[in-house]
Amino acid sequence: MTQTIAELRLALDTGGLTSQALVEQMLINSNDPAGEGRLVFRKTYAAAAMAQAVAFDNCRRSGMPPAHLGPLAGIPISVKDLFDIAGEVTGAGSAVLADNPPAASDAPAIARLRRAGAILIGRTNMTEWAYGAVGANGHFGTPRCAWDRAVDDGAGRIPGGSTSGGAISVTDGMAAAAIGSDTGGSVRIPAALNGLAGFKPTARRVPLAGAYPLSQLDSVGPLANSVGDCVLLDRLMAGGDGAAMLPAHSLRGLRLGLARNHLQEGMDPEVALPFERALSRLSAAGAQLIEFNWSELDSYASINAKGGFSAAECFARHQQLLEARSAEIDPWIVARVLAGAKQTAADYIELLAARRDWIARSETRFAQFDVLIAPTVPVIAPRLKPIMDDVSTLGEYFKANSTVLRNCQFINFLDGCGLTLPIHDTGHAPAGLMIAGTAMSDQRVLAIGLAVEAHLRGA
């Protein structure tokens, strides 16, 4: 299933496809015993999804004008297991939250998609508490990357996290798009490692209410088959009606910032080659490539040396569970969260101040160009088996986690927004191009992303 939401909507409105047939096929894909469905979904909504699909089909057959239907009318969407759905316990990929009370209402972002006509097809698996970029879950299994699943005696490669199930639900035709969260790359990383587009908005633009929190760096965003799909879903979740179009953005004269330090170091050849090729094509189209030294990155590690916001805030939220039931929590999560126990109130206050200063200095530096571009993830998806086999020292896990997390995390700390779009050749390891900007530059980032995607696909 590689059709975009726009393509599916056109087929539905013109009678070339029914929502019932679309939902049926996605449920078949999710139930395929040879597929990843049992690892992708924590729960599917087969009966409800089919009933809604039939209702939308009846509306269309009755002659209801397409303009009177919501922009997502009859389109199946998956949602990450950390979003509240009325009447259900929000699991957040964890076994220790099963006794929590059910949600009283849908998370606002999800409610907005439902009002736009989206059909919820299932809740997707994720890293426990959304705390990890590998995508591994020791309780409910780990779906494998859409590329190269046959290696390592069937273990395959990591899907990227923490929105692991969401990414594979889209690549494997189990949903037309997925909604996830991004605290340090949890939308963009799985999107990039699986050949999808993904968008992390400025955090304040999309409501975080009803999304199980990790830290103040959280944001809510989509994973989909095109930048256009991300634009639509982001606009709806941010409270828009999905009807307005972004203004066209020219590549000629576009100023693209290239931070060669940190962001472009240690790239796998399978990432470096398509990245440099994309730069060449954008330059040939008239874009200006402006190399600069993002010197603030030199201090990022020391600012966050005691675990940063995620460790402190996740520990504060889960301290009692960690004390009473740590054996029931994934060991790589426990190891990361416990770093938060060592932070003092003074450490946390200093971190808040250091971030404010870091953002101010970075924003001044970013003023010289329109957007930053970089590899979304500097490496191809690491192999899963060595990571899962090393549960005693967790060395392989932390190595993979820090590597795939490296580039994306800076945009969250910046309070910025970031888009990833695929740049690899068909049949090759997925690689993503990240287009990012400062806070509330979302519309510019997305408009440029649409132009870049159109040019690279047509090149």
Lowest mean pLDDT among 146-155, 205-214, 228-237, 287-296: 146-155
| Angle between helix 442-458 and helix 227-237 axes, rounded to 10 deg | 160
Please give the pLDDT value at position 458. Answer: 84
d(CA 203, CA 411): 11
Using alpha carbons, list the distances in angstroms from residue 338 to 30, 86, 309.
36, 32, 12
Lowest mean pLDDT among 53-62, 152-161, 360-369: 152-161
Work out the pLDDT band at 291, boundaries 50, 70, 90: very high
Which tens digit of pLDDT belongs to each residue from 293-350? 999 999 999 999 999 999 999 999 999 999 999 999 999 999 999 999 999 999 999 9
Work out the pLDDT band at 245, boundaries 50, 70, 90: confident
What are the boundaries of each domain within the chain?
A: 5-237
Residue range 5-237, CATH number: 3.90.1300.10
Of 19, 30, 78, 80, the active-site residue reads: 80
| Burial class, 353, CB count within 10 angstroms (exposed 0-12 / middle 13-18 / buried 19+) | exposed
Q: Which amino acid, 229? A: D
Please give the pLDDT value at position 243. Answer: 77
Please give the pLDDT value at position 390. Answer: 93
| Angle between helix 269-284 and helix 442-458 axes, rounded to 10 deg | 90
Of 19, 30, 94, 162, the active-site residue reads: 162
Of 78, 169, 186, 215, the active-site residue reads: 186
d(CA 448, CA 426): 23
Region 187-215 average pLDDT: 98
Cβ atoms of 322 and 338 within 8 Å: the answer is: yes
d(CA 163, CA 259): 27
Q: Is the pLDDT of residue 1 over 60?
A: no
Q: Judge whether 105 counts as a catalytic residue.
A: no
Region 182-211 average pLDDT: 98
Which tens digit of pLDDT belongs to each residue from 402-439? 999 999 999 999 999 999 999 999 999 999 999 999 99
| Angle between helix 308-325 and helix 345-366 axes, rounded to 10 deg | 150
Work out the pLDDT band at 459, boundaries 50, 70, 90: low
Q: Is the pLDDT of residue 188 over 60?
A: yes
Please give the pLDDT value at position 248. Answer: 83
pTM: 0.97
Work out the pLDDT band at 454, boundaries 50, 70, 90: very high
Q: In what order do the strands lie in the sheet with 177-181?
A: 41-44, 119-124, 76-80, 177-181, 220-224, 197-200, 417-422, 432-437, 371-375, 255-259, 288-292
Question: Is the pLDDT higher at 260 or at 294?
Answer: 294
pLDDT above 70 covers what percent of the chain?
A: 98
Region 273-282 average pLDDT: 98
Q: Judge whether 385 counts as a catalytic residue.
A: no
Residue 440 DSSP class: T
Q: Which two tokens stand for residue 380?
A: 């191809």
Q: Is the pLDDT of residue 89 over 60?
A: yes
Q: Which two tokens stand for residue 424?
A: 């690899």
Location of structure tokens 């287009």 = 435
Q: Judge whether 164 counts as a catalytic residue.
A: no
Please give the pLDDT value at position 151. Answer: 55
Question: What's the helix, strand, coil split of the chain in %, to 5?
Answer: 45, 15, 40
Region 117-146 average pLDDT: 98
Please give the pLDDT value at position 160. Answer: 98
Please give the pLDDT value at position 329. Answer: 98
Which tens digit of pLDDT belongs to each residue from 353-392? 999 999 999 999 999 999 999 999 999 999 999 999 998 8
Region 141-166 average pLDDT: 88
Q: Is the pLDDT of residue 202 over 60?
A: yes
Question: Is the pLDDT higher at 244 or at 178?
Answer: 178
d(CA 13, CA 64): 10
- Mean pLDDT computed over every residue of the chain: 96
Please give the pLDDT value at position 153. Answer: 60
- How far out from the chain centre does Cα 99 lie? 27
